Amino acid sequence: MEFYLVLTRKLSPAVPRGVAQRHIEDLVRSWEVVPLDGAVILEALRGVIAHGFAPWDAQIWAAARLSRVGSVLSEDFSDGMFAEGVRFANPFVPSFQLASLG
């Protein structure tokens, strides 16, 4: 949902809603979507305390960490940041290269 908001509200010019939806449909078909459950919420709370993450960012980190996802695309973390096995890449920086995520 955050990706949708960035595409349709933060980019200039904004991506039309239907185009943004098709991009997200492609992503959902291409990658596993990790569910948010009680374990993720508890791990997110630990991330808030241990790493100083904002609560919503901590949920992203916790879902990735518990699912053993090594890389997360997000504009909310510092590009290249690494926390307990999870690396963050900002897909909106000009230097972003999907292939570099390995």
Do 14 and 47 reside in the same domain of the chain? no
What are residue 72's DSSP bridge partners? 88
Q: Which amino acid is at 53?
A: F
Where is average pLDDT lowest: 16-20, 84-88, 98-102?
Answer: 98-102
**Domain ranges, residue 13:** 1-31
Do 4 and 41 reside in the same domain of the chain? no
Do 18 and 52 reside in the same domain of the chain? no
Under 8 Å CB-to-CB from 63, ≥6 apart: which residues? 34, 35, 36, 40, 69
Q: Which tens digits make up the pLDDT trace of 18-35?
A: 999 999 999 899 988 888
90: region left, alpha or beta (phi > 0 left; psi from -120 to 50 alpha): beta
Instruction: Give the pLDDT score at 102.
Output: 65
Q: Which amino acid is at 12?
A: S
Do 54 and 79 reside in the same domain of the chain? yes
Q: What's the burial of 25, exposed, middle or buried (CB within 10 Å: 0-12/13-18/19+)?
A: exposed
pTM recorded for the entire structure: 0.74
Do 26 and 43 reside in the same domain of the chain? no
Q: Which tens digits make up the pLDDT trace of 34-71?
A: 889 999 999 999 999 999 999 999 999 999 999 999 98
- Domain count within the chain: 2
pLDDT at 16 over 80: yes
Do 41 and 27 reside in the same domain of the chain? no
